[in-house]
């Protein structure tokens, strides 16, 4: 390889990259929690909704888990203005990522619902717990422990997936890297640096998630 | 007054009749064992008593008070007096041993945590698990889990303890430790209804043995009478089969 790395310009843009990193974290954070709420509703619909509601939820999951997230965002980006909804790029991307995550999180949370053991609920009942107490002391902790690892995984996938926002000129990490590179022509250095920032982001997130998982949910999470 | 009085109790799942006209009385301090083939209604009877399966007819009185199984508050009151231990232990996997034993007294009966925990330590000592307070169910053997389940039931200070095939899921070498625990409870005067296939144990511990078949009580009496001189063919056939090995 004859390429000579010159990290000078790339390193100068490090502060800008870190600022952009905040946007990346924001995107993935909101998409995750929004998706978790959609997923909760979806999982409830699939598990307890009658034939109609559960099929609607299933159709949503099938569509969003069988088409690329990028395409889904494109559909929103060009489709919504046609029906009179004009959103800023950031919001549009966030919406797309959220809907996409919601579909996966539906399946994850449904697995959580199904993992609750009827026998534990019966034990709770005979100990005199009300429905609310059963939910609070038995059902939710049980679901939380079961779904914590896939949830944590989903969050990391979203951190990386938020780079799709660059296509829609949202200046998160990847977008910012593209912008700076078009001025400096140091593409390779820039993206090497950005790769490092992504790794640091997911590294920190993994450790935080593992610590929280071990402490609160007794999840034996691997750090890597 | 009988401690527990069951009169003509019946139950059904849809069209399947699982209990028919079961009548039974239990006096304070007595140990009653229910025996009989699988599907004879023994476990169903216990489930009806604690309100997990609704009865379709008959009455249950505990210490003279009628339990109304259509009323949540009445069932709740009955659960203050009766505790059940299940075949599969049914411990809360997300709580340690101490948590399993103390959750109901603390969170449901709103008793003082310190007091309950002190009692729980005594109970766990009694079932031989004083050194496992902070272990989680998945770190315990089946026999240990079942003894935690017994301690959890006892923490409610029940007047009546129902044991539903508590050794059936255990490896043979773990059965003894659980049976020893139950023996100790019996000698402490705990009133119990036991569903069990451990015939030697049943014979030794019971004040009365009740044999069920197809949802009915077909024979009852002292252990020696039932085991040695069963009067019905069905009972003779059943004991013939299980006592042979």
- Contact: B52, A218; criterion CB under 8 Å: no
- DSSP 8-state class, residue B83: E
Going by C-alpha positions, the residue among A126, A151, A221, A132 that lies closest to residue B92 is A126
Q: Which residues of B touch A142 (CB under 8 A)?
A: 92-94
Any domain includes A105: yes
Minimum-distance CB partner of A145 among B83, B94, B107: B94
Q: How far apart are CA A62 and CA A39, in angstroms?
A: 13
Q: How far apart are CA B41 and CA B20, in angstroms?
A: 9
Asked whether B132 and B97 are in contact (CB, 8 A), the reply is: yes
Task: Give the C-alpha distances (Å, rounded to integers) separating B56 from B14, B15, B36.
Answer: 10, 11, 22
pTM for the complete prediction?
Answer: 0.78
Q: Domain range holding A166?
A: 23-170
Going by C-alpha positions, the residue among A218, A40, A221, A72 that lies closest to residue B134 is A218
How far B229 CA lies from chain A's nearest CA (Å)?
Answer: 37
What's the CATH number of domain B4-243, 3.40.50.2300, 3.10.450.50, 3.40.50.300, 3.40.50.2000?
A: 3.40.50.300
Any domain includes A211: no
- Contact: B136, A218; criterion CB under 8 Å: yes
Q: How many domains, in total, are found in chain A?
A: 1
Asked whether B228 and B214 are in contact (CB, 8 A), the reply is: no
pLDDT digits (tens, 9 = 90+) for A86-130: 999 999 999 999 999 999 999 999 999 998 888 899 999 999 898
Q: Integer distance in angstroms from the first to the last C-alpha of chain B?
A: 41
Query: Which two structure tokens, joined as six digits, stand for A223?
Result: 């750090």
Minimum-distance CB partner of B107 among A119, A137, A145: A137
How far B126 CA lies from chain A's nearest CA (Å)?
Answer: 20
- DSSP 8-state class, residue B104: I
Using the predicted structure, report yes or no on whether residue A168 has a pLDDT greater than 70: yes
pLDDT of residue B101: 95
Task: Give the C-alpha distances (Å, rounded to integers) separating B21 from A57, B41, B163, B210.
Answer: 47, 11, 22, 14
Domain ranges of chain B: 4-243
Any domain includes A114: yes
pLDDT of residue A172: 92
- Contact: B92, A145; criterion CB under 8 Å: no
Q: Distance of alpha carbon B30 from its chain centroid, rounded?
A: 13
Q: Please report the ipTM that was assigned to this predicted complex.
A: 0.85
CATH number reported for the structural domain that contains residue A56 in this entry = 1.10.3720.10
The pLDDT-based confidence of A11 (bands split at 50, 70, 90) is confident
Q: How far apart are CA B176 and CA B143, in angstroms?
A: 9
pLDDT digits (tens, 9 = 90+) for B46-67: 999 999 999 999 999 998 899 9
- Contact: A141, B152; criterion CB under 8 Å: no
Query: Which two structure tokens, joined as six digits, stand for A180?
Result: 């700076």
Q: How far apart are CA B125 and CA B114, in angstroms?
A: 17
pLDDT of residue B192: 96
pLDDT digits (tens, 9 = 90+) for B71-127: 988 998 888 899 999 998 899 988 999 999 999 999 988 899 999 999 999 999 988
Q: How far apart are CA A24 and CA B3, in angstroms?
A: 67
Q: Which residue is it, tokens 């809360």?
A: B92
How far B86 CA lies from chain A's nearest CA (Å)?
Answer: 8
């Amino acid at each position: 390889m004859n390429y000579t790395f010159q990290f000078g310009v790339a390193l100068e843009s490090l502060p800008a990259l870190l600022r952009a990193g905040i946007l990346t974290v924001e995107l993935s954070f909101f998409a995750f929690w929004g998706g978790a709420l959609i997923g909760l509703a979806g999982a409830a619909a699939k598990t307890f909704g009658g034939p109609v509601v559960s099929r609607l939820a299933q159709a949503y999951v099938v569509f969003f888990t069988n088409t690329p997230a990028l395409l889904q965002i494109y559909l929103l980006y060009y489709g919504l203005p046609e029906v009179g909804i004009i959103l800023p790029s950031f919001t549009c991307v966030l919406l797309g990522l959220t809907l996409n995550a919601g579909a996966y999180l539906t399946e994850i949370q449904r697995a959580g619902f199904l993992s609750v053991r009827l026998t534990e609920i019966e034990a709770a009942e005979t100990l005199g717990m009300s429905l609310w107490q059963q939910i609070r002391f038995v059902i939710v902790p049980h679901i939380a422990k079961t779904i914590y690892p896939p949830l944590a995984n989903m969050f990391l996938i979203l951190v990386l997936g938020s780079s799709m926002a660059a296509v829609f000129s949202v200046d998160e990490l990847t977008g910012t890297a593209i912008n700076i590179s078009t001025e400096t022509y140091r593409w390779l250095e820039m993206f090497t640096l950005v790769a490092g920032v992504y790794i640091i982001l997911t590294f920190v997130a993994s450790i935080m998630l593992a610590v929280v998982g071990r402490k609160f949910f007794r999840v034996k999470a691997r750090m890597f | 007054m009988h401690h527990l009085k069951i009169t003509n109790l019946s139950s059904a799942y849809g069209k399947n009749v699982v209990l028919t006209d079961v009548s039974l009385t239990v006096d304070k301090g007595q140990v009653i064992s229910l025996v009989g083939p699988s599907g004879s209604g023994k476990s169903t009877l216990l489930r009806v008593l604690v309100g997990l399966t609704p009865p379709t007819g008959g009455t249950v009185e505990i210490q003279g008070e009628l339990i109304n199984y259509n009323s949540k508050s009445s069932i709740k009151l009955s659960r203050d007096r009766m505790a059940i231990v299940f075949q599969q232990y049914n411990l809360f996997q997300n709580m340690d041993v101490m948590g399993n034993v103390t959750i109901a007294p603390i969170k449901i009966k709103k008793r003082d945590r310190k007091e309950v925990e002190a009692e729980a330590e005594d109970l766990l000592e009694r079932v031989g698990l004083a050194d496992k307070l902070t272990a989680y169910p998945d770190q315990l053997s089946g026999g240990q889990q079942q003894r935690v389940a017994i301690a959890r039931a006892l923490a409610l200070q029940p007047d009546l303890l129902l044991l539903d095939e508590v050794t059936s899921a255990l490896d043979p070498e773990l059965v003894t430790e659980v049976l020893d625990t139950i023996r100790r409870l019996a000698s402490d005067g705990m009133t119990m209804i036991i569903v069990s296939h451990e015939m030697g144990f049943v014979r030794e511990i019971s004040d009365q043995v009740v044999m069920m078949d197809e949802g009915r009580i077909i024979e009852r009496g002292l252990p020696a009478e039932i085991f040695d001189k069963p009067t019905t063919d069905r009972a003779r056939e059943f004991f013939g089969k299980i006592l042979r090995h």
